[in-house]
Amino acid sequence: MTNSKRTTLGVIGLALGLVALMLILILTALHAVGTDAELYYRLQQEAWLTMDAASAAGISDDDLRMLDSRLAAYLAGDKAALNEGDGVVEIPVRGAVQPAFNEKEMTHMADCFRLFALLRKVRSRLIPWAVLLIVGGAYLLQNQRKARLAAWLSPLVLLIPLGAFGIWAAIDFGGAFTFFHRVLFSNDLWLLNPATDLLIRICPESMFMGMGLRIGLWGLAALVAVPALATLITFIWPKNKQDEANKWNDNRATRRASAQRPKTFDFGEKR
């Protein structure tokens, strides 16, 4: 393999490995935020500054906390978290005891369950690829300067599409939110009615805005931290033995040329 091809493969491998690592961190942040029951509750309280969130939803505060806990556990992988006995957990809603979520809501939650399961699967598959690409790319490259270049170019692969979507969401969250759902879901079950569907009442749009902001901040931190750490490692990276050998040979040749320089003696004008 020629040196140029080795360098090219090393840069590509290292950059892709770092991209995979950043994706792992972003998916981890998404999973952590999306399954945090305490965060749900805080954002629900913030959604109704002038009145209690549970009252606005038509349920008690204890039942709201219970549903938050069950929703978080369900998305984290507990498929039976929303059930009690043979059916959906029942609570008083606006004075009448009924299943907390109707058939439409449960079907939509099943879609969300599959998405979070896919997230965990993708993340687990990315881990060995990230390790293989980073180690393999670094081994092929063995060049500190080019490794730093690969490290700081790698975030662009994610920063451009994610940054564009983030700017869109900041300007028009409703439009970005709708696009996001139409891409992820093959049906319209996510279009819930506040008059009949408790799920949309306890999960208002502002709640998703707060969750999206936290995921975005964690994602931005990953896009900065990973190349920064990779760059730091290059400063303690063992130097390429071939480069050191070439440097030694160059220095030796310089010393030899200096030692062999002909000496001249000036004895003055001959008499």
pLDDT of residue 33: 97
List the beta bridge partners of residue 160. Answer: none
Whole-prediction pTM: 0.84
* Number of CB atoms found within 10 A of residue 201's CB: 22
pLDDT of residue 259: 52
pLDDT of residue 271: 43
pLDDT of residue 7: 87
pLDDT of residue 144: 85
pLDDT of residue 245: 45
Alpha-carbon span 84 to 89, nearest angstrom = 5
Handedness of CA 202, 203, 209, 211 (dihedral sign): positive
pLDDT of residue 265: 46
- By CB atoms closer than 10 A (0-12, 13-18, 19+), residue 100 is buried
One digit per residue, the tens of pLDDT, for the chain of length 271 reads 688 888 889 999 999 999 999 999 999 999 999 999 999 999 998 887 755 666 678 899 999 999 999 999 999 999 999 998 878 999 999 889 999 999 999 999 999 999 999 999 999 999 999 999 999 998 888 888 889 999 999 999 999 999 999 999 999 999 999 999 999 999 999 999 988 999 999 998 889 999 999 999 999 999 999 999 999 988 886 665 555 444 444 455 555 555 555 555 454 544 4
pLDDT of residue 15: 94
Q: Could you write out the DSSP letters of every residue in 12-73?
A: HHHHHHHHHHHHHHHHHHHHHHHT-HHHHHHHHHHH-SSS-HHHHHTS-HHHHHHHHHHHHH
What tokens were used for 197?
């569907």
